């Protein structure tokens, strides 16, 4: 998480992050919209809108028509679809989180996996995640009751890997549940924290 960024659960409203809401407002006003109007249309603070606009301009997604940012009109040049581009400050694509996206996508398709299955399926999607990363993600989703444990993992030769099945009703949408550093799972599809590790420790 970058300096000054709020945790995702504080940045989301209705399951959408600030950048997603800005992007959607831009797509609805693709011929041109001012910074002030874009901030009001997206419900995002002016400074945050301006920061993302600079990324979009650097990446060639948006054109600025005007000498100053405050007085300019912004028009959409490259519409890549419904999902907001994940960009760095210089306009290049930010690849952080793609492994998690690939794991969640694989879970939604395969429905039942172990960590090795998840690694192989993400590789097929062009993303590489380690076996430990896949195992950790499955364990967190199991704690948050997205997954049902169907085979208990056992050490030995050969070792048995824990196997999980996607629980009924757990496919909440295309955006992957996020494991946050403070020990909780946030679901951007629902716009809410679905599991806190501290609650389990207090019981």
What are the pLDDT digits (tens) for 182-195? 788 988 888 888 99
Name the CA radius of gyration of the chain, rounded: 20
Q: Which CATH number is correct for 98-202, 3.40.50.1010, 1.10.10.10, 3.30.420.40, 3.30.70.580?
A: 1.10.10.10
Q: Where in the chain is the domain with CATH 1.10.10.10?
A: 8-76, 98-202
The per-residue pLDDT for range 15-46, each reduced to its tens digit, is 567 898 999 999 999 999 999 999 999 999 99
Q: Please give the share of the chain, as a percent, with pLDDT higher than 70.
A: 87
Give the chain's mean pLDDT.
84
Burial of 129 (0-12, 13-18, 19+ CB in 10 A): buried
What angle separates helix 98-110 from helix 131-143, to the nearest 10 degrees? 60
**Which residues pair with residue 62 across a beta bridge?**
76
Burial of 19 (0-12, 13-18, 19+ CB in 10 A): buried
Q: Which two tokens stand for residue 183?
A: 């020990």
What architecture (CATH level 2) is domain 8-76? Orthogonal Bundle (1.10)
Residues in the chain: 203
The pLDDT of residue 190 is: 87
**Which residues pair with residue 99 across a beta bridge?**
none
Q: Which two tokens stand for residue 189?
A: 């599809």
Higher pLDDT pick, 203 / 57: 57
Q: Which residues contact 6 (CB under 8 A, 6 or more apart)?
A: none
The pLDDT of residue 54 is: 94
Separation CA 21–CA 18 (nearest Å) = 5
Separation CA 158–CA 124 (nearest Å) = 25
The segment with the largest mean pLDDT, out of 63-77, 84-98, 121-135, 173-187, is 63-77
What's the gap between Cα 187 and its chain centre?
9
Among 65-79, 101-115, 116-130, whose mean pLDDT is lowest? Answer: 116-130
Q: Does the structure show a pLDDT above 70 at 131?
A: yes
The per-residue pLDDT for range 155-166, each reduced to its tens digit, is 766 678 899 999
Q: Does the structure show a pLDDT above 60 at 199?
A: no
pTM for the full predicted model? 0.59
Separation CA 68–CA 75 (nearest Å) = 15
């Amino acid at each position: 998480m970058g300096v000054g960024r709020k945790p995702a659960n504080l940045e989301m409203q209705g399951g959408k992050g600030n950048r997603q809401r800005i992007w959607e407002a831009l797509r609805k006003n693709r011929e041109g919209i001012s910074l002030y109007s874009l901030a009001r249309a997206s419900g995002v603070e002016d400074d945050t809108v301006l920061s993302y606009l600079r990324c979009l301009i650097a990446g060639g997604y948006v054109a600025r028509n005007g000498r100053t940012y405050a007085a300019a009109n912004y028009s959409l040049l490259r519409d890549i679809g419904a999902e907001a581009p994940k960009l760095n400050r210089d306009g290049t694509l930010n690849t952080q989180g793609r492994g998690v996206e690939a794991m969640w996508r694989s879970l939604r398709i395969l429905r039942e996996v172990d960590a090795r299955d998840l690694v192989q399926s993400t590789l097929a999607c062009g993303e590489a995640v380690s076996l430990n990363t896949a195992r950790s993600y499955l364990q967190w989703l199991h704690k948050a009751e997205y997954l049902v444990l169907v085979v208990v993992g056992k050490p030995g030769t050969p070792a048995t890997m824990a196997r999980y099945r996607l629980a009924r009703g757990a496919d909440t949408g295309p955006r992957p549940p996020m494991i946050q550093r403070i020990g909780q799972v946030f679901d951007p599809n629902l716009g809410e924290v679905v599991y806190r590790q501290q609650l389990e420790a207090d019981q």
